[in-house]
Chains A and B, each alone.
Chain A
Amino acid sequence: MMGLQIFTNSLAHFLAGVLLLCAFALLSQRRLAAMITLVQAEALVLSAAAFWQGLVQGSDGLFLTGIITLCIKGFLLPIALRRITRQFNLIRAVETVMPVGLSMIIGVGLIGIAVMVVLPGSAGTVTLTHEDLAIALSVVLLGLLVMTTRRNALSQVIGFLSTENGLVLAAIGMPGMPFVVELSVALLVLLALLVVGVFVFQLREHFETLDLSGIEAIERRGR
């Protein structure tokens, strides 16, 4: 029994760690196609984590969560994003605001902060959910960092998706988390995708590019 418990937790931690690795790799990628692939990988790992948690906790809601994650974020969204990139011929490199190396250093700092916040100073009281939570918070912060360091609208969407993955990871790690939250979060992501899609088409129509730096220049001049 004890051995099964340890195995359960280490598998959950392993999946969370893979997710964190994907989120971290997201920072280092300049190309949109690679970023989409990484987000897809994140979603697959997340759904696997959800299935495992559902099995361990014996909760059907988590299976549903995993299925939704797998369908929407694992297949639907990446396919839609790939279509957009193909349509706008965006497979080339994305422009980053700060050097990739610097953003990765900041990312390491963010993970440190997340660990410092969630894990209490006295090591004796560390529980396993705490460690899960630390990883989830790191993923959220890394996603936000991606959103702030990229100029391209699509890569900001990808950063948002990564942030959302971190939130879901936190939710499935907590036993007894209500399923409704997960559903609403998924719907929210869809909604955001719709808005961004419309926004992207508008941009394309007006400026023939998806690069936001042109809009920033106009904002600076115009206001």
Chain B
Amino acid sequence: MVGLPGRGMHLGIDPLSALFLCLLAPQVVAAAVAVERKSVTFWVFVLGMVLALVAADSFALILGFELMSAASWLLVLRGDRRPDGRPPATLYAGVALFSAACLIPAVFLPAGGIAFVLLLLGAGAKAGLAPLHSWLPRAHPAPSAGVSAVMSGGMVSVALYVIIRYAFIVFGNAAEPWWGTVLMAVGAASVLIGALRCLLEVELKTVLACSTVEHMGLIAVGLGVALRARAMDDPALASLALQAALLCAVAHALFKPLLFLGAGAVHHATGTTSLDWLGGLMRCMPRLGVLMLVGAAGMAALPLGPGFAPEFLLLHAVIAAAGSGGVMAWIGFAALFGILGLSAALALAAGVRVIGFGFLGRPRSLHAAAAEEADRLTLIGMGILAVCCVLVALTPGLLLRAMAPVISEAVPGALPQALAYAPLPLALLMAVLAAVAFVALRRFGARGEREVPAWNGGFGKPPVWLPFGDPATQPIASGFAEPVRRVLGPALLGRAGLDPGERYILAPLSRLHLRLTRLAELVRRATIRQRLAFVFGALVMFLLALGLGQNG
């Protein structure tokens, strides 16, 4: 028995932890099948996550959470390739320590505003919510593909679980509307910055990590709306928003590991994940390409994909919440709606960019041209996730009905809302229409053949010395993102194009660190006399304070 002295460790499973365990299972299985069967650290990492999910007391939860942090730090350290010369493992350790320093007091404090803010700082830093998100696009791509997949799909989900567990269930009765507002603001900022960077980054794994920030933001917005509605005694709205958030968490935990495993396979096959050097992979790696297409459909929130239903519900919830306060609520929720719409468009562009520049077109480098299909185990692992993705995409209604106990656990008196979106009949209808069109075309279409010039597929006009076209004349991924960078970059990223999280948090911290180091160096280099003078000065100060305290 491990636990507080004299009290054992309590484990237990309720609907909420069962949901997150279900969500953890497919990605762990897929990552294990694909890459990480033998790594002990990986299994310790998984054990930590499971422990955090099944914990029934705060101590066990913290133990699991920190075990997860420590193991994932080891994994980041091991895979740390430092593409830009900065050590993400050190940054990651710093974030993990900060998170622990906020979370440990938060879970042991009495329910209230301070505990909630600490909880949000601690678990939010781990989940990659703005403004503490800038470590995530650096650290998540660093380890190997399987670990990246579980970090980006599972670890952030565990952090969300902690937020839901404490904000809704443990602190639930002390909740105030401003808690939800804070969560929504944090979520909206993450959504915006995540979606924008997701479109601008060039490395495939970094793109996926930025998309993680965006989806965490979406979930946080959903949770924020739910928390606010719960504190304002509106169980119908609260359950609608919570449904959106949980469905989004489920979808994200399926398609993000899928995409990360695919990115790892691409890296293995071509030696790079830079979208500017890929292209034409659909021809060499057709199965991987199809699997990635399923994942990218989820990431882009396309209809009939896994990511659409949660966004649809979330927008419904935001519209419904707009009428729940004064004029400020109208303005705020209208702005939130605009941000969500903008980020949905950016996410769509990012999804198109991943597939269009990574897998379509013609190879932009010899490595990409010579890529071979990923190995069978990776394909099997990704296949498991893709099947789950399709199931979730086609039957969100069933999933929501299965989630009803979770909703009523988190929101007392919940009224689960029916989903006004039925993808399965829609898909069937489209299949029937396609079949009818196909048959009609075969039956009544024109016969015979006709030669037309091929569409040049986005290529520029080839130079005269390369009559068949040069792959380098294709537009590249950074060029595709350039219009968006011109329009939104200066406003959101500043002139240097740096993430605000780095510019306003990491850079000042780094300057502070430099200053403290200089101070420490000054103390270390002090001569005997200076040290004596320092001790003497401290003594005199102490005596002075003592004297003033006595007489004052």
Q: Which residues of A contact B (CB under 8 A)?
A: 97, 110, 113-114, 116-117, 120-121, 141, 144-145, 147-148, 151, 156, 212, 215-216, 219-220, 223
Contacts and interface: CB of A to CB of B under 8 A. Distances in A.
Contacts of B547: 113, 116-117
A97 B532 CA distance: 13
Contacts of B525: 219-220, 223
B422 interface: no
B433 to A, nearest CB: 80
Contacts of A145: 536
A156 B546 CA distance: 27
Contacts of A141: 540, 543
A46 B539 CA distance: 25
A223 B551 CA distance: 45
Nearest to B525: A223
Contact of A113 (B524, B527, B532, B544): B544
B529 A144 contact: no
Contacts of A110: 540
Given A120-B550, A216-B527, A220-B525, 19 more contacts: A97-B529, A110-B540, A113-B544, A116-B547, A116-B550, A116-B551, A117-B543, A117-B546, A121-B551, A141-B543, A147-B532, A148-B529, A148-B533, A148-B536, A156-B529, A219-B525, A219-B527, A220-B527, A223-B524
B496 interface: no
B524 to A, nearest CB: 7
B328 interface: no
B528 interface: yes
Nearest to B529: A148
16 contacts: A97-B529, A110-B540, A116-B547, A117-B543, A117-B546, A117-B547, A121-B550, A121-B551, A144-B539, A145-B536, A148-B529, A148-B532, A212-B528, A216-B527, A216-B529, A223-B524
Contacts of A144: 532, 536, 539
A194 B80 CA distance: 55
Contacts of A219: 525, 527
A110 B539 CA distance: 11
A144 B546 CA distance: 19
Interface string B414-451: 00000000000000000000000000000000000000
Contacts of B544: 113, 116
Contacts of A220: 525, 527
B148 to A, nearest CB: 43
Interface string B517-532: 0000000110111001
B524 A151 contact: no
Interface residues of B, number: 17
B550 A117 contact: yes
A151 B532 CA distance: 12
Q: Is the interface of B mostly helix, strand, loop or mixed?
A: helix
A156 B543 CA distance: 22
A38 B525 CA distance: 34
Nearest to A118: B547
Contacts of A156: 529
Nearest to B549: A117
Given A216-B527, A219-B525, A113 B533 contact: no
A215 B525 CA distance: 12
Contacts of B536: 144-145, 147-148
Interface in B222-241: none
- State the 5 A-B residue pairs at the shortest beta-carbon distance, nearest first: A116-B547, A121-B551, A148-B533, A117-B547, A216-B527
A215 B530 CA distance: 13
A152 to B, nearest CB: 10
Contacts of A97: 529
Nearest to B521: A223
Nearest to A151: B529
Contacts of A223: 524-525
A141 B546 CA distance: 15
Contacts of B546: 117
A114 B529 CA distance: 23
Contacts of A116: 544, 547-548, 550-551
A219 B529 CA distance: 12
B543 A114 contact: yes
A113 B549 CA distance: 12
Contacts of B543: 113-114, 117, 141
A97 B527 CA distance: 13
Contacts of A120: 550
A212 B529 contact: yes
A141 B529 CA distance: 15
A185 B538 CA distance: 24
Contacts of A148: 529, 532-533, 536
A1 B224 CA distance: 86
A219 B550 CA distance: 42
B490 to A, nearest CB: 46
Nearest to B545: A117
Contacts of A117: 543, 546-547, 550
Contacts of A121: 550-551
Nearest to A145: B536
Interface in B368-408: none
A134 B378 CA distance: 82
A116 B551 CA distance: 8
B537 to A, nearest CB: 9
A29 B544 CA distance: 27
Interface string B24-68: 000000000000000000000000000000000000000000000
Nearest to B534: A148
Nearest to A219: B527
A198 to B, nearest CB: 16
A220 B550 CA distance: 42
A202 B94 CA distance: 47
A204 B511 CA distance: 44
A35 B543 CA distance: 27
Nearest to A112: B547
B445 to A, nearest CB: 87
B415 to A, nearest CB: 70
A67 to B, nearest CB: 32
Contacts of B539: 144
Nearest to B546: A117
A121 B549 CA distance: 10
A147 B533 CA distance: 8
B529 A113 contact: no
A163 to B, nearest CB: 10
